[in-house]
């Protein structure tokens, strides 16, 4: 199960680099869905611009893209891709320190197994596999999301979180971060769904996976994040309590994170 990333429809070479600051979406030639998490409001202050970004993978950044990231001050990345994905599309930029927090693509494994077993998958199965992946984030991949928060709490340099498409693994990590900082749930969902507007992979049917299923597997749907957060609230009382009890985001660490990421905090 694969898809190719589209070329950005706006070339950064035509932009004045200073103009990309304080923009939610930053157009790059070699990747898509690159977004600044700044500007979202919380009861304790808005999130600072230029501190945390989210994106699809960075392996195809050209020299202009790299200049743009350097201009933005990006010095660290948190790579949520699985080991095979990283080996297939590696990157090594002098100005970025990469931190691997590998989460294997569960959906691809489920799809491949079902195609071998039954010859094809249905759209209902595609939706079920997507939801199963989100469930696995908070049941099977606690340590990886712990490392995400540890990294963000420890390092103060501007950081980009990414996986392959920048939608599911990255989307869940970013949703946890925004929730911890106090961003309203409606804004968290809005940020999550922005992928629909800024990630358009080139899709082709594959053996056992028709185009309708491919659109589900490479798209985003509010139901996946909503169902996951609902389950966390039922089990822990709140998503914040889950982050504290399971991801190690103590009150002290959260205070330090807010000091770093929120405007006018304390």
Please report, for the chain, the start and end positions of each structural domain, with discontinuous segments joined by +. 12-261
Say which residue the tokens 């596999």 belong to: 129
CB 72 within 8 A of CB 64: no
Pairing between strand 97-100 and 159-162?
unpaired
Q: What sign for the dihedral angle of Cα 229, 233, 238, 242?
A: negative
The CA distance from 28 to 59, in Å, is: 12
**pLDDT tens per residue across span 22-49:** 689 999 999 999 999 999 999 999 999 9
Residue 13 has pLDDT above 60, yes or no: no
Mean pLDDT (the chain, rounded): 91
Q: Which CATH class is domain 12-261?
A: alpha beta
pTM, full prediction: 0.91
Q: Tell me, what's the pLDDT at 27? A: 93
Q: How confident is the model at residue 12 (pLDDT cuts 50, 70, 90)?
A: very low
């Amino acid at each position: 199960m694969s898809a190719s990333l589209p070329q950005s429809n706006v070339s950064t070479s035509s932009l004045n680099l200073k103009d990309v600051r304080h923009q939610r979406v930053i157009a790059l030639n070699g990747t898509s869905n690159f977004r600044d998490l700044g500007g979202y409001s919380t009861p304790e202050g808005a999130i600072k611009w230029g501190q945390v970004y989210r994106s699809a993978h960075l392996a195809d950044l050209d020299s202009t893209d790299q200049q743009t990231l350097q201009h933005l001050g990006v010095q660290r990345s948190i790579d949520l891709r699985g080991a095979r994905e990283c080996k297939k599309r590696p990157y090594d930029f002098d100005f970025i320190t990469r931190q691997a927090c590998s989460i294997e693509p569960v959906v691809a494994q489920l799809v491949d197994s079902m195609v071998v077993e039954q010859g094809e998958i249905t759209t209902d199965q595609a939706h079920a596999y997507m939801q199963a992946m989100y469930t696995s984030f908070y049941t099977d991949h606690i340590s990886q999301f712990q490392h995400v928060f540890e990294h963000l709490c420890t390092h103060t340099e501007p950081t980009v979180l990414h996986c392959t498409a920048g939608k599911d693994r990255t989307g869940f990590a970013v949703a946890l971060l925004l929730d911890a900082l106090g961003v309203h749930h409606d804004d968290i969902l809005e940020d999550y769904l922005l992928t629909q507007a800024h990630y358009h992979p080139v899709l082709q049917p594959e053996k056992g996976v028709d185009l309708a299923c491919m659109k589900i597997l490479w798209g985003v749907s509010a139901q996946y994040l909503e169902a996951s957060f609902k389950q966390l609230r039922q089990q822990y009382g709140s998503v914040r309590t889950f982050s504290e009890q399971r991801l190690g985001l103590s009150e002290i660490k959260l205070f330090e994170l807010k000091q770093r990421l929120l405007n006018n905090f304390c």
